[in-house]
Structure 1
Amino acid sequence: MFTATANLILPSTTTGSFPRPRWFDVSMWGRPLDTCMLDVRFREKFQDAMAVVISDQERAGLDILTHGDLHVDEDMAGRAWHHYPLQRWAGFAGDYLQPEETTAPWLHYPPGTLLNEIYTGWRWPHVVDKIAHRPLDYAKLWRIAQGKTRKPVKFGTCCSQVMALFLDIHTPKYKDKREVIWDMAEAMNKELRALRDAGCRCIQIEEPTFHFMANTYGKNHEQVKFMIDAFNREVDGLDDVELWIHTCWGNPNMQRVMEDTSYANSIEIYLERCRGDVWTLEMKDRNQKDLELFTPFKTALKKKIAIGAVSHRVLQADRPEDVAGEIRKALEFIPAERLVVSSDCGFGRQGCNREIAFYKASAIAQGCNIVRRELGLATAYVPAADPVLQIDVVAGRDVTSAARGTA
């Protein structure tokens, strides 16, 4: 079901996380949100930071906003993106070094590399008991964000599959990792249903591992088929929600975790075999590789495709005309009414600074306007590009209201 994008052509958004304001120096560290909010300093900083992130996205001109992942702790390379659920659900304990022989073959890196430092520096809980849902407070987090804007707020969360990559089983209650993934999928489903019941109608599930695994083992591998079933269980019952599925090729501290990347073995999975309405792809950082895969689907696309038109790994702030060029390339293979324009991945998770993230986001909104005008469509107002609202206005420059919305 299309909700947030229902009446929009070339809607603009970003994937999720945003850099924190420098003064937002508190984290939750596994505590319940209610406990944190009893601290008046945390309460003020958290709500003010959320207001700032929402305001920045509105000023950038984005059509669909995110909550910025501000509930996720500010830790090494964004580990807390995985850990937020793991620290709160029943069945997990401790923080341990990942064993050398991980089940993910693409997570081995030599000493002297940043990825080796990240993956040997991260610590993970052990599975020590039956996994069971405990509240993650997604509904409250969404209400805090949505209460600060009239634009739709897309709520994103990592999925059970990607969390399971790093877990070790230390209990006889589980025979293998599949049982762990399935119970986590059921726990997440309870949280997502509560989020839906609170009124959220745009939910993004982040990083199911189909594209990694299908690229390595093939799309019909037994493990891939299981992951599809587990994903569909995780999002069961969300029929009245616009469901986004985010995919990229890794983003710990802005790093690409593998070089051999292709959606060729997973395009059918995302378009036809798993539930969802919008599929996001990392494209800008991969030079739009794999866009041609959509040629057979162009006239019959049921889902919408969100392309990354700016990279989260490059610190050069994109220009609107650069984004417009990426959109024109995508329109050769994806109809305008099925295309969403976003970033490759999030800007947070020990990523780029706030100013660069802001101008990348605004370039997305302004680039969409350029192409909308070329297609004879109405444009969206971008406050950041309004001549009247610049911090410093050159004397004599035409800053009439007629200029609004043209940049």
Structure 2
Amino acid sequence: MKTLFNKPLTNKKTLPTSTAGSLPKPAWLAEPETLWSPWKLQGNELTEGKHDALRLSLQDQQHAGIDIVSDGEQTRQHFVTTFIEHLNGVDFEKRKTVKIRDRYEASVPTVVGPVSRQKSVFVEDAKFLRQQTKQPIKWALPGPMTMIDTLYDDHYKSREKLAWEFAKILNQEAKELEAAGVDIIQFDEPAFNVFFDEVNEWGIACLEKAIEGLKCETAVHICYGYGIKANTDWKKTLGSEWRQYEEAFPKLKKSNIDIISLECHNSHVPMELLELIRGKKVMVGAIDVATDTIETPEEVANTLRKALKFVDADKLYPCTNCGMAPLSRKVATAKLNALSAGAEIIRRELSASS
């Protein structure tokens, strides 16, 4: 039986809340409300500042009543490139402009040789987080397909070959994170919402390679992106129904991934698509990260009620749609409070009806 921090999952709190990943960084560490913001500190001050920010982020989550906590991605500039920076075979000085997820152009580093990992990337940070709390902790890693979509490949000349190499590297990192006490390892795969043929031909298989041999819980986070203009503009082109999840869900249901993390609140995703993954645990995004408007607890509860028609209560994890790094800390904290309060409304309803 898999456990959360050595406690059987069957004994865990009903509807445990979580976040999809990033939370805003304090202004003394990086530029607020900005992705890829450069650090404001250097050397030992930066190391200490990152850990101070991690502690603050954890405290914000705890005060808001979040059940499965994370580092808020305080020690990394970006959810993909910070991991890649620590690998061999990628030249960050040799840059090319590519279209990321068929959506927006960006200057990215180049794969110039065989990719490999000399040492762990996040394990020391994960150990630090583990020392700060006895709550279950979740750690996010970029997924193989999203990693290849954030690079220019001048070596393998094959998206699939490069993805398999990244899957092996991610598996090494994931096993060390598990040993450091991480309860849930999440792989961020927004690319799963775009490259449907590749997802089904080899993307999910690569993801299963990345989780091979893990005993902790595993999750895949598939969203429609941060609340930045490129993503919100793209969403406007998707019509009145967003059925992208329909492409990957059947194969994901058969996969070894334990939890599927999704965007549900204020989206045009038909909730009935969750029926395609019935039996899986689902992190239901009940907080919109593309607006500063604070959800009411009842709005959160309403999203969860809709999801409960297709997800069993013991498999539903209330969550945010995506990371909240581009938001202000004040807004993000208020949204976390709303998430907890909305989940508590549903817990009471479930208790009253049982």
Q: For this structure pair, what is the TM-score category when the shorter chain's length is used for normalisation?
A: 0.7 to 0.9
Partner SS for 1:147: helix
Matched, 1:268 2:272: no
Structure 1 residue runs of 5 or longer lacking an equivalent are 30-35, 74-79, 108-114, 215-220, 378-407
Q: Distance in 2 between matches of 1:246 and 1:2?
A: 20
Is the radius of gyration larger for structure 1 or structure 2?
1
**Could you say if the C-alpha distance between residues 270 and 253 of structure 1 is closer, same or farther in structure 2, counting changes exceeding 3 Å?**
same
Structure 2 distance, partners of 1:60, 1:3, is 24
Q: After superposition, what is the alpha-carbon deviation per residue over 1:151-207, rounded to whole angstroms, capped at 9, x for unaligned?
A: 111001111211111322333xx2422211111111111111111122222111111
In the alignment, structure 1 residue 357 sits paired with structure 2 residue 332: yes
TM-score (norm 1): 0.76
* Alignment check: 8 A CA contact 1:285 1:344 kept: no
| Aligned residue identity for 1:3 | T
The aligned counterpart of 2:218 is 243
In structure 2, distance between residues paired with 1:296 and 1:167: 32
Q: 1:318 — aligned with what? A: 295
Cα-Cα RMSD: 2.5
Q: Deviations over 1:70-127 (max 9, x none)?
A: 1112xxxxxx322112211111113455446x485x32xxxxxxx5xxx3xx321111
Q: How does the TM-score come out when normalised to structure 2?
A: 0.86
- Whether the 8 Å contact between 2:17 and 2:66 is mirrored in structure 1 is yes
CA distance, structure 1, for counterparts of residue 85 and residue 227 of structure 2: 19
Offset of 1:359 from its aligned partner? 0.9
Residues 295, 170 of structure 1: alpha-carbon distance in 2 compared, 3 angstrom cutoff:
closer
Of residues 354, 375, 378, the one that matches 2:350 is 375
Shift in CA distance, 64/223, structure 1 to aligned 2, threshold 3 Å: closer
Match of residue 283, structure 1, among 245, 255, 264: 264
Cα distance in structure 2, aligned partners of 1:22 and 1:103: 28
Change (3 A) 1:305 1:89: same
Residue aligned with 1:264, SS: helix
- What residue in structure 2 maps to residue 62 of structure 1? 66
Q: Which residue of 2 aligns with 1:160?
A: 144
Of the candidates 134, 138, 147, which is equivalent to residue 122 of structure 2? 138
Q: After TM superposition, list the pairs within 5 Å mapping 1:122-133 onto structure 2.
A: 122-133=106-117
SS in structure 1 at match of 2:247: coil
Report the AA paired with residue 73 of structure 2. Answer: D
Q: What secondary structure does 2:17 align onto?
A: coil
Q: Which residue of 1 aligns with 2:281?
A: 304
| Matches of 2:260 and 2:170, distance apart in 1 | 19
Give every structure 1 segment of 4 or more consecutive aligned residues whose post-TM-superposition deviation is greater than 4 Å: none
Matched, 1:204 2:186: yes
Question: CA–CA distance in 2 between the matches of 1:180 and 1:52?
Answer: 37
Distance, in Å, in 1 between the alignment partners of 2:306 and 2:57 is 30
Match for residue 46 of structure 2 among 36, 42, 47: 42
Number of aligned residue pairs: give it.
333
Greater Cα shift, 254-263 or 10-19: 254-263
Gaps of 5+ in 2: none
Q: Which amino acid aligns with 1:355?
A: K
* CA 1:185–1:41: 2 relative to 1, 3 Å: same
Q: Structure 1 residues 23 and 281, CA, compared in 2 at 3 Å: closer, same or farther?
A: same
Specify the alignment match of 2:79 in structure 1: 81
TM-superposed deviation, 1:209? 2.9
Matched, 1:213 2:195: yes
What secondary structure, in the 3-state scheme, does the structure 2 residue paired with 1:205 have? Answer: strand
